[in-house]
């Protein structure tokens, strides 16, 4: 499953390893987009827990089968 997760603020790409390997892009709107494939819900759960641990503000979460429509 493909996930796109948006959080408040600009996050350094160096967090990739600690955030399920998702790609990290800083956006002009002052937000960061985490995107990529995750194998299952457990992996997503892990990413969300890490976002909570880091005290990041979660703005949105979208999913699609392939990532084409996102």
Partner 1 sequence: MARASLHALTWSEEQRLYELYTRGQLKLRFRPGEESAWLDWLNEATSFAFHGKDGSLNVYLEKRPRGGAYWYAYHTGKSRTHKRYLGRTENLSPAHLEETARSLSDEQQPAPATELGTALLSSRLAPPRLPNALVERERLLTALDEALSTRLSLLSASAGWGKTTLLSAWAQRHQGQVAWLSLNELDNSPTRFWVALIAALRRCPALTSSIGESVVTQLQSPQPPPLLSCLSVLLQELERGSPHPAPIVLILDDYQVIEEPNIHQSLAFWIEHLPAHLRLVLSTRVDPDLPLARLRARGELTEIRMDELRFDQEEASQYLSQLLSPVLSPEEVRRLVNRTEGWIAGLHLVALALQKREDRAAYLEALTGSQRYLLDYVQEDILAYLPESVRTFLLHSAILSRLDASVCQAVTASPTAAASQQMLTLLERANLFLVPLDEERRCYRLHDLFREALLSALYTSQPEMVPLLHRRAACFYEAEGEWAEAIAHWFETRDFSAATRLMERTVEQFWVRGEAATIANWVLKLPEPLLREHARLTLTTALHLLHTATQATRAQRESVHRQVRQLIARVAMALRRESDEHPAIDAGAGTLALSEDLEARVAERDVLHRRMRLLSMYMTFFGALASGDRERLDSMQQEIEEELDQDEEAIWQIVPLTYSFLLHFSTWQTGATLLPRLLAAKERLSHRASPFVSLKVRQFLAFVALEAGKLRLASQESQAALDLIEQARGDVLLKDYFEVALAHVWYQWNRLEEARGALHTVMHDASTWQHLDLLGFGYLGLLQIALATANWPLAEFALDGMEQMVQRERFATYPGRLPILRAQWWLARGQIEEASEWAAHVVFPQGTWEASLYHAFPVVIRVYFAEQRWTEAAELLDNSRKRLDRPANVRITITYLAQSLVALHQAGQRDQARAVAARLFALTEPEGYLRVYLDEGEPMRQALLAFLPPHSQQHKLASSTTAYISKLLAAFEQEQRDPGRSLVAAPTALSPDRQASVLPSAPDASLTRREQEVLRLLATGASNQDIARTLVIELPTVKKHVSNLLGKLGASSRTQAVSRARALSLL
Told to check if 56 binds partner 1 by CB under 8 A, we report yes
Q: How far apart are CA 50 and CA 34, in angstroms?
A: 13
11 counts as binding partner 1 under rule CB under 8 A? yes
- With vertex at residue 60, the alpha carbon angle to CA 54 and CA 61, rounded to the nearest 5 degrees, is 90
Total binding residues for partner 1 by CB under 8 A?
18
Cα–Cα distances in Å, from 15 out to 23, 51, 68? 9, 11, 24
Judged by CB under 8 A, the residue of 5, 32, 38, 47 near partner 1 is 32
The answer to whether residue 12 forms part of the interface with partner 1 (CB under 8 A) is yes
Q: Binding residues for partner 1, per CB under 8 A?
A: 9-12, 14-15, 17-18, 26, 30-32, 50, 52-56
């Amino acid at each position: 499953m493909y996930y796109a997760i948006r959080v408040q603020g600009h996050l350094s790409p160096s967090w990739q390893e600690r955030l399920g390997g998702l790609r990290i892009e800083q956006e002009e709107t002052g937000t960061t987009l985490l995107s990529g494939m995750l194998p299952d819900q457990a992996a997503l759960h892990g990413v969300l827990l890490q976002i909570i641990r880091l005290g990041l503000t979660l703005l949105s979460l979208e999913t699609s089968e392939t990532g084409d429509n996102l």
